[in-house]
Structure 1
Amino acid sequence: MPETRRAKELPVSLLTEPEMIDACRVRDFARVFRLVKTRAGIYPSMIARQCELTPSRVGEVIAGQRQLLHMEVIERIADGLRIPGHMLGLARRTWETPAVLAERERPEFDHLPVEPKPLSALPGVEVDSILALAAGTNPSPSTLHALRSSIEDYWRRDDEHGGETLRPAVVGQLRYVEGLLKDQRPTPIEHGLYGIAAELARLTGWMYFDARQYHQARAYFSEALQLAREIDDHPFMANVLACMSLQATYQDKPADALALVSAAQDQARAAIGTTPRVRAMLAMREAFAHATLGDRTATHTAISEAHGQYGRIKADDPDPAWVTYFDEPKLIVDTGIAHGRLGEAAIAEPLIADALEREDPANQRGRAFHAFWLARTQLQRGKLDQACHTAIEALVPAAAVSSERVTGHLREFYEQLAPYREVPAAVAFEARLRAMFPPQGQRTPSSIRT
Structure 2
Amino acid sequence: MNDSSPLAMRRRAVGHSQDDAARAAGVDRRTWGRWERGEATPYPRQLPRVATALKISVEKLDALLNSAADSSRSPGPSSNPSSLHDLDDMVNDWIGLSPTGGPSPGRALRVTEEDLGMVRQMLAVFRQLDHTYGARQSAGQVTDFIERQLNDLQQRPAASPSIAHQRAMLTAEACELAGYQAVDNGRPQQAQAYYQRALNLTVATGDHAYGAYLTAVNLGHLALHCGEAELALRWASAALAAAGTAASPATRAAITAVVARANARLQREDEATRLLLEAERLLDEGGSDEPPWIGYFTHAYLADEAAHCFHDLGRPPTARGQLVDALGGVGTDRVRRRAIDAALLASTWIASGELDQACAVGTEAVEYAARTGSGRCVERVGAVLGALGPHSGYAPVRELQEFTRAVLPAAVTG
Letter in 2 for 1:227: L
Q: Which whole-Å CA distance do the structure 1 matches of 2:211 and 2:47 have between them?
A: 20
Structure 1 residue 420 and structure 2 residue 395: aligned?
A: no
Match of 1:210 in 2: 184
Letter in 1 for 2:112: S
Letter in 1 for 2:281: G
Q: Indicate which of 123, 126, 129 corresponds to 2:48.
A: 123
SS class of match (1:123): helix
> Using CA pairs below 8 Å that are at least 6 residues apart, which structure has the higher relative contact order?
1
Q: In 2 relative to 1, CA 213–118 (structure 1 residues): closer, same or farther, beyond 3 Å? A: closer
Match of 1:180 in 2: 153
Q: Indicate which of 272, 283, 286 corresponds to 1:313.
A: 286
Structure 1 residue 380 and structure 2 residue 321: aligned?
A: no
Q: Which whole-Å CA distance do the structure 2 matches of 1:234 and 1:127 have between them?
A: 35
Q: Indicate which of 386, 389, 396 corresponds to 2:360.
A: 389
With normalisation by structure 1, the TM-score equals 0.66
Q: In 2 relative to 1, CA 412–120 (structure 1 residues): closer, same or farther, beyond 3 Å? A: closer
Q: In 2 relative to 1, CA 127–200 (structure 1 residues): closer, same or farther, beyond 3 Å? A: farther
Structure 1 residue 301 and structure 2 residue 274: aligned?
A: yes
SS class of match (2:290): coil
RMSD of the TM alignment (CA)? 2.3
More helix by share: 2
| Per-residue Cα deviation, 1:24-53 (whole angstroms, up to 9, x for no partner) | xxxxxxxxxxxxxxxxxxxxxxxxxxxxxx
SS class of match (1:385): helix
Q: Which whole-Å CA distance do the structure 2 matches of 1:368 and 1:258 have between them?
A: 26
**1:138 CA drift (Å):** 4.0
Structure 1 alignment gaps of length 5 or more: 1-114, 129-136, 441-450
Match of 1:325 in 2: 296
Contact persistence 2:260–2:276 (CA under 8 A): yes
Match of 2:129 in 1: 157
Match of 1:51 in 2: none
Q: Which whole-Å CA distance do the structure 1 matches of 2:136 and 2:299 have between them?
A: 29
Aligned-pair identity in percent equals 25
Structure 1 residue 264 and structure 2 residue 264: aligned?
A: no
**1:409 CA drift (Å):** 0.7
Mean Cα deviation higher: 419-428 or 207-216: 419-428
Match of 1:290 in 2: 263
Match of 2:327 in 1: 356
Letter in 2 for 1:221: Y
Letter in 1 for 2:345: L
**1:254 CA drift (Å):** 0.5
Q: In 2 relative to 1, CA 439–301 (structure 1 residues): closer, same or farther, beyond 3 Å? A: closer
With normalisation by structure 2, the TM-score equals 0.71
Contact persistence 1:237–1:267 (CA under 8 A): no
Q: Which whole-Å CA distance do the structure 2 matches of 1:244 and 1:311 have between them?
A: 25
SS class of match (2:390): helix
Q: In 2 relative to 1, CA 290–367 (structure 1 residues): closer, same or farther, beyond 3 Å? A: same
Q: Which whole-Å CA distance do the structure 2 matches of 1:322 and 1:300 have between them?
A: 26
Letter in 1 for 2:142: V
Q: In 2 relative to 1, CA 330–170 (structure 1 residues): closer, same or farther, beyond 3 Å? A: same
Mean Cα deviation higher: 425-434 or 214-223: 425-434
SS class of match (2:205): coil
Q: Which whole-Å CA distance do the structure 2 matches of 1:116 and 1:402 have between them?
A: 33
Q: Indicate which of 167, 189, 208 corresponds to 2:163.
A: 189
Q: Which whole-Å CA distance do the structure 2 matches of 1:162 and 1:267 have between them?
A: 32
**1:122 CA drift (Å):** 4.3
SS class of match (1:153): helix
Match of 2:60 in 1: none
Q: In 2 relative to 1, CA 116–367 (structure 1 residues): closer, same or farther, beyond 3 Å? A: farther
Q: Which whole-Å CA distance do the structure 2 matches of 1:305 and 1:127 have between them?
A: 50
Q: Which whole-Å CA distance do the structure 1 matches of 2:45 and 2:221 have between them?
A: 30
Q: Which whole-Å CA distance do the structure 1 matches of 2:123 and 2:329 have between them?
A: 25
**1:438 CA drift (Å):** 4.4
Q: Which whole-Å CA distance do the structure 2 matches of 1:138 and 1:169 have between them?
A: 25
Q: In 2 relative to 1, CA 200–438 (structure 1 residues): closer, same or farther, beyond 3 Å? A: closer
Q: Which whole-Å CA distance do the structure 1 matches of 2:45 and 2:268 have between them?
A: 44
Q: Which whole-Å CA distance do the structure 1 matches of 2:401 and 2:324 have between them?
A: 22
Letter in 2 for 1:297: D
| Per-residue Cα deviation, 1:179-198 (whole angstroms, up to 9, x for no partner) | 32234422011111101111
Structure 2 alignment gaps of length 5 or more: 1-39, 54-108
Q: In 2 relative to 1, CA 298–142 (structure 1 residues): closer, same or farther, beyond 3 Å? A: same
Letter in 2 for 1:251: C
Residue correspondence of structure 1 range 267-278 to structure 2 within 5 A: 267-269=242-244, 272=246, 274-278=247-251
Contact persistence 2:44–2:194 (CA under 8 A): no
Q: Which whole-Å CA distance do the structure 1 matches of 2:299 and 2:201 have between them?
A: 30
How many residues are treated as equivalent by the alignment? 314
Letter in 1 for 2:407: M
**1:251 CA drift (Å):** 0.9
Letter in 1 for 2:241: D
Match of 2:111 in 1: 139
Q: In 2 relative to 1, CA 380–245 (structure 1 residues): closer, same or farther, beyond 3 Å? A: same
Match of 1:198 in 2: 172
Q: In 2 relative to 1, CA 414–116 (structure 1 residues): closer, same or farther, beyond 3 Å? A: farther
Contact persistence 1:116–1:219 (CA under 8 A): no
Contact persistence 1:125–1:179 (CA under 8 A): no
SS class of match (1:417): helix
